[in-house]
Amino acid sequence: MSQKSIVLKELAEVAFKGLEDQLKGLDEDEMYWKPTDESNNIDWIINHICRISNTTLPRIIKGDPTYKPVGWPDDYRDRQHSIEKYVADLASGKKMVIDGIAALSDAQLEEEIPLWGGKRKRKEGLYTYIGEVIHHRGQIAFIRGTVKRKKEKDPNFLC
């Protein structure tokens, strides 16, 4: 494994571990609550991260903009899934991402691939989308923290 892929792999491991920790004990009331009408709820955020981890990051790793895992539904984004389904999809995406990054050479990380309407280094896409996992984990932490504080003030909140 190259030195560069080691760093990216460790970053992905930390990002996914933090996300897994943030999802522990999540219930449906929290999953669908939104701090404002315009906000995303945790359901939308997890759905988005599942798509990033199962399609976007593997596409960057493989350099194939059309890749999708066998059985991955075209309408995944348009459906709500159970917490258990999301957790399982995150686990399979995490495995693909971490294993895929570990297999990349320094030359592959430096390779320019089609990204965002142009060509960019593969490593740039990986850093960006692993950053998305971290960013959205923070959004989930904000929502869950807000729900916790609201429940402390009003035990009947979301009941």
pLDDT tens, 50-78? 999 999 999 999 999 999 999 999 999 99
- Concatenate the DSSP letters of all residues of 53-75 into one string: IIIIHHHHHHT-TT---TT--TT
Q: Give mean pLDDT, residues 19-45.
A: 96
The reported pLDDT for the residue numbered 129 is 97
Per-residue pLDDT band at 158 (split at 50, 70, 90): confident
Q: Give mean pLDDT, residues 111-124.
A: 93
The reported pLDDT for the residue numbered 3 is 84
Rounded to whole angstroms, the Cα distance separating 138 from 32 reads 17
Is the pLDDT confidence value at 119 over 90? yes
Spell out a b/e string for 48-74, using b for 16 or more CB atoms within 10 Å of the CB, else e.
bbbbbbbbbbbbbbeeeeebeeeebee
Is the pLDDT confidence value at 12 over 90? yes
Distance between alpha carbon 144 and the CA centroid of its chain, in Å? 17
Per-residue pLDDT band at 28 (split at 50, 70, 90): very high
Is the pLDDT confidence value at 2 over 90? no
The reported pLDDT for the residue numbered 35 is 94
31, 47, 18: which is closest to 134 by C-alpha? 18
CB-based contacts of 125, cutoff 8 Å, min separation 6: 60, 113, 115
| Structure-block tokens of residue 96 | 């693909």
Q: Give mean pLDDT, residues 80-103.
A: 97
Fold for domain 3-153? Four Helix Bundle (Hemerythrin (Met), subunit A) (1.20.120)
Is the pLDDT confidence value at 159 over 80? no
Rounded to whole angstroms, the Cα distance separating 10 from 78 reads 31
